[in-house]
Amino acid sequence: MTAAVEFQSVSRQFGTGPGAVRAVDAVDLTIAEGSFFAMLGPSGSGKTTCLRLISGFEQPSSGTIRIFGQDVSTIPPNRRNVNTVFQDYALFPHMNVRDNVAYGLRVKGMGRAQRHAKAEEMLALVQLPDYGDRKPGQLSGGQRQRVALARALVNEPRVLLLDEPLGALDLKLREAMQDELKALQQRLGITFVFVTHDQHEALSMADSLAVFNQGRIAQIGTPAEIYDRPRTRFVADFVGSSNVLPPAVTQAMGGPARWASLRPEHTRLAATGPLSGTVTALRYLGAATRVVMKTGDTEIAALVPAGHPLPEPGHSTAIAFDPKDLHVMEDE
């Protein structure tokens, strides 16, 4: 399978001298054709800069970027067969929805009737038929999102880039759009690359994802790999709400003297166990209750399914788990 996007030790530095910031630091990355790829990380981790390097709005300070095998170092954004759904959607306020969607075809010289027909087709695909005559200002956030999607997809890009595409939507709409984006990607077979700081979004939508930290990729893998076997403390901490255990605690729990992670849902409360401590907080989550227990300086969370007895804060309890669920990390 060809690589849709390939980074070879790509760096992007902002500024010069001692105040310089390496937003992207020697990143190697391969995104497979037809995949739904997520770039996950906290703000300032370099994920958005990586996206802008693909679209061409940033140029690498060093390294090579290839799109379908072709070096794009000297190719400006308008000649890359890659389209972006912007975080703020960036719909043109002075054009109606149809002209917005047809914009890419218009600047390529397609005739009015043909491009309008194609725009209507796309609007139907994103479930906004009959919205062509409206102005972007008359649409809701979710509708604008779909228009931005249609405007990008009408150009039939080889790669579609999405910059925090669901960030501005409320929770319910966000979940609906997640399903829709996923279905759309599978239907069109276009490579989707999306940037997000929301680990649930990344885990639920992506075929594979890269976790960014301070300009570098902390780990690349499928959602299951990243969730179950985080390579570093940062990944375990950032992806999901895992317990990150220092070497001493890992050892006390029967593991080697290394950092380890333990998922709250893999633990249960017991009268006695390898690790005991004091209950400090309870948080009701609906289907379960999250119980936080403190042992020494380490806080460990356990999930107690609804219907099971709950401890009182201040009381002591112990945690039991299956030793195979204790994941020892490769790096710190």
Partner 1 sequence: MTAPAILPERGLADRLTAFFWRHPKTFLALLLTPPLLWLGVVYLGSLFTLLLQSFYSIDEFSGMVKPEFTLKTYAELLRPSNFDVILRTLLMSAAVTLGCAVLAFPIAYYAARFARGRWKAVFYLGIMLPLWSSYLVKVYAWKLILAKEGIITWASEATHTTAILNAVLALPVIGGNSLSTSYIGMFLVFVYVWIPYMILPMQAALERVPTSMLEASQDLGASRSQTFRTVILPLALPGVIAGSIFTFSLTMGDYIIPQIVGNSANFIGMAVYQLQGTAGNIPLAAAFSMVPIVIMLIYLSLAKRAGAFDAL
For partner 1, the binding residues (CB under 8 A) are 55, 57, 76-79, 82-84, 86-88, 90-94, 103-104, 106-108, 151-152, 155
Instruction: For partner 1, give the closer residue by CB, 160 or 211.
Output: 160
The DSSP annotation for 232-263 comes to SHHHHHHSSS-EEE-HHHHHHTTS-SS-EEE-
Strand partners for 327 = 261
Closest approach, Cβ 150 to partner 1, in A, equals 12
Instruction: For partner 1, give the closer residue by CB, 147 or 239.
Output: 147
Instruction: For partner 1, give the closer residue by CB, 193 or 220.
Output: 193
E strand segments, 197-330: 208-213, 216-221, 243-245, 260-262, 267-270, 275-284, 288-295, 298-305, 316-321, 327-328
In the block, which residue shows the tokens 């405007």?
Answer: 151
How far is Cα 164 from Cα 9, in angstroms, rounded to an integer?
A: 24
The DSSP annotation for 152-177 comes to HHTT--SEEEEESTTTTS-HHHHHHH
Closest approach, Cβ 283 to partner 1, in A, equals 32
Instruction: For partner 1, give the closer residue by CB, 108 or 200.
Output: 108
How far is Cα 303 from Cα 288, in angstroms, rounded to an integer?
A: 6
Closest approach, Cβ 114 to partner 1, in A, equals 16
Residue 30: partners with Cβ closer than 8 Å, 6 or more residues away? 3, 5, 6, 7
Instruction: For partner 1, give the closer residue by CB, 162 or 302.
Output: 162
Closest approach, Cβ 112 to partner 1, in A, equals 14
Closest approach, Cβ 311 to partner 1, in A, equals 35
Closest approach, Cβ 153 to partner 1, in A, equals 11
Closest approach, Cβ 104 to partner 1, in A, equals 4
SS3 for 126? coil
Instruction: For partner 1, give the closer residue by CB, 93 or 189.
Output: 93
In the block, which residue shows the tokens 């409360």?
Answer: 269
Closest approach, Cβ 87 to partner 1, in A, equals 8
Instruction: For partner 1, give the closer residue by CB, 107 or 281.
Output: 107
Instruction: For partner 1, give the closer residue by CB, 108 or 283.
Output: 108
Closest approach, Cβ 80 to partner 1, in A, equals 8
Assigned token pair, 276: 């005991």
How far is Cα 48 from Cα 272, in angstroms, rounded to an integer?
A: 47
Residue 120: partners with Cβ closer than 8 Å, 6 or more residues away? 98, 129, 132
Residue 135: partners with Cβ closer than 8 Å, 6 or more residues away? 93, 95, 96, 97
Instruction: For partner 1, give the closer residue by CB, 163 or 231.
Output: 163
- Phi, psi angles (nearest 5°) of residue 42: -70, 170
